[in-house]
Structure 1
Amino acid sequence: MYPVTLASPRLALREFTPDNVDALTAVYGDPKVVEHMSFEPRSREQVQATIAAVTEAAQAVPRTEYSLAAVRPGGGLIAFARLAVDTQHPGQSSGQIGFALRADQWGQGLGTEVVRLLLRLAFDELDLYRVWGARSPLNEASARVMSRAGMVEEGRIRGHLLVRGRWRDSIVHSILVPEWRETEAAPRRR
């Protein structure tokens, strides 16, 4: 599926373009944004390489990597949104999401909107059955975002990632397609 364009009332997900380097550097280069991620703040050159890699991955057939720019009306990039389709278990229809929102956009419900758009892509466009995401145990904001999008906390993966020289646990959240359908039919809360 290429190109991807999905919209909600305040956001759209679209493919990255080479001119998104500075806007994405404002996300990935910010120590506050990457505090709970598995990497240090990224330089402009690292972000440029990331955009080149995700642009190339978008052309793969079959496509399994959906790294998308979340933009506000008028084109301002505010987040990196990712859905990776599981290819290690053929016939297992699942995917993993990840997201990073620019710090000046926090607290407005936009993270939840990004996750809902990723879930829409997964369930409505790609016909997946299960989607999961992992977060740092200290990242309560991410827990709230995934919960508001209908995802359920499943549990802890101990010693999951080596981050900044130390092993870190991850908390896993997931949602199944029947739960998504129910969530989408329910009135929206922020």
Structure 2
Amino acid sequence: MTSVHLAGPRLALREVEPGDADALLAIYGDREATRHLSFEPRTPDQVQLITDRSIASAKDSPRTEYCLAVTRLGQHELIGYARLATEPQQAATIGFALHPAVWGRGLGTETVHLLCALAFNRLGLHRVWAARSPLNEASARTLLRAGMTEDGRIRDHVFVRGAWRDSITYSILEQEWSPIDGVETAAADGS
């Protein structure tokens, strides 16, 4: 297993660890933090399963899923959760959630840049895409600031809170992406 560690100007991505479950519950168990996500708030048991699955997926070979803790640069505490799942045709889908206490500071944009650095610089992918709730205007601004382009709408994409919901999709191609100053892509294990 090769551990992932990516650092930006203010944030870092690292592998999820067993001790991250409580900090992840503070995000995934929070009604406001999950308001625009594709699921309702998670229970402690559900978050423990997500934590365990995240740790296990890091050992898969070939690795197709990168579930990573978002931390402040130089700190260890999880303040967000980021995911990149590879797809055929040198592509990946990304998603992330940050604790509401850190919203509105541009950290989502930096998280997207770090995920793109993983996709393009480390994994050699060609295309990265993301989806958001139509009501999540903050996510729209974040994805556009990160250099992504709005692609369109997937009708009735997810069933959440008792109803079908559309998703708005965004993508970026390897030749369109420019890293922000201060993003490095070294892996913790030297690869």
TM-score by length of 2: 0.91
CA deviation vs aligned residue, 1:31-69 (integer Å, no higher than 9, x gap)? 111001111111222111110011111110000000000
Name which of 103, 107, 118 aligns with 2:104.
107
In structure 1, list runs of 5 or more residues that go unmatched: none
Q: Secondary structure of the equivalent of 1:51?
A: helix
Residue in structure 1 matched with residue 93 of structure 2 by the alignment: 96
Matched, 1:74 2:75: yes
Q: Secondary structure of the equivalent of 2:45?
A: helix
Task: Give the number of the structure whose residues are more often helix, by fraction.
Answer: 1
CA deviation vs aligned residue, 1:63-101 (integer Å, no higher than 9, x gap)? 000000001132121110000000xx3xx1000000001
The answer on whether the counterparts of 2:129 and 2:169 sit within 8 Å (CA) in structure 1 is: yes
1:25-104 matched pairs, under 5 angstroms: 25-72=25-72, 73-86=74-87, 89=88, 92-104=89-101
- Residue 78 of structure 1 aligns to which amino acid in structure 2? I
Identity of aligned residues (%): 56
The answer on whether the counterparts of 2:24 and 2:78 sit within 8 Å (CA) in structure 1 is: yes
Q: Distance in 1 between matches of 2:168 and 2:66?
A: 22
Aligned pairs, how many? 180
In structure 2, list runs of 5 or more residues that go unmatched: 182-191
Residue in structure 2 matched with residue 134 of structure 1 by the alignment: 131
Q: Secondary structure of the equivalent of 1:144?
A: helix
Q: 1:185 to 1:10 in 2, by over 3 A?
A: closer
Q: Distance in 2 between matches of 1:38 and 1:130?
A: 22
1:109 to partner: Cα distance: 0.6
Matched, 1:184 2:189: no
CA deviation vs aligned residue, 1:4-37 (integer Å, no higher than 9, x gap)? 0000121110001100111111111111110011
Q: 1:185 to 1:22 in 2, by over 3 A?
A: closer
The answer on whether the counterparts of 2:94 and 2:130 sit within 8 Å (CA) in structure 1 is: yes
CA deviation vs aligned residue, 1:90-135 (integer Å, no higher than 9, x gap)? xx10000000010000011111111100000000000000000000
1:121-160 matched pairs, under 5 angstroms: 121-160=118-157
TM-score by length of 1: 0.91
Q: Distance in 2 between matches of 1:184 and 1:38?
A: 28
Q: Secondary structure of the equivalent of 1:179?
A: coil
Q: Secondary structure of the equivalent of 2:139?
A: helix
Q: 1:185 to 1:44 in 2, by over 3 A?
A: closer
Residue in structure 1 matched with residue 187 of structure 2 by the alignment: none
Residue in structure 1 matched with residue 186 of structure 2 by the alignment: none
- Displacement over 2 Å in runs of 4+: 183-186
Q: Secondary structure of the equivalent of 2:69?
A: strand
Q: 1:185 to 1:3 in 2, by over 3 A?
A: closer
- The alignment's C-alpha RMSD in Å is 1.3
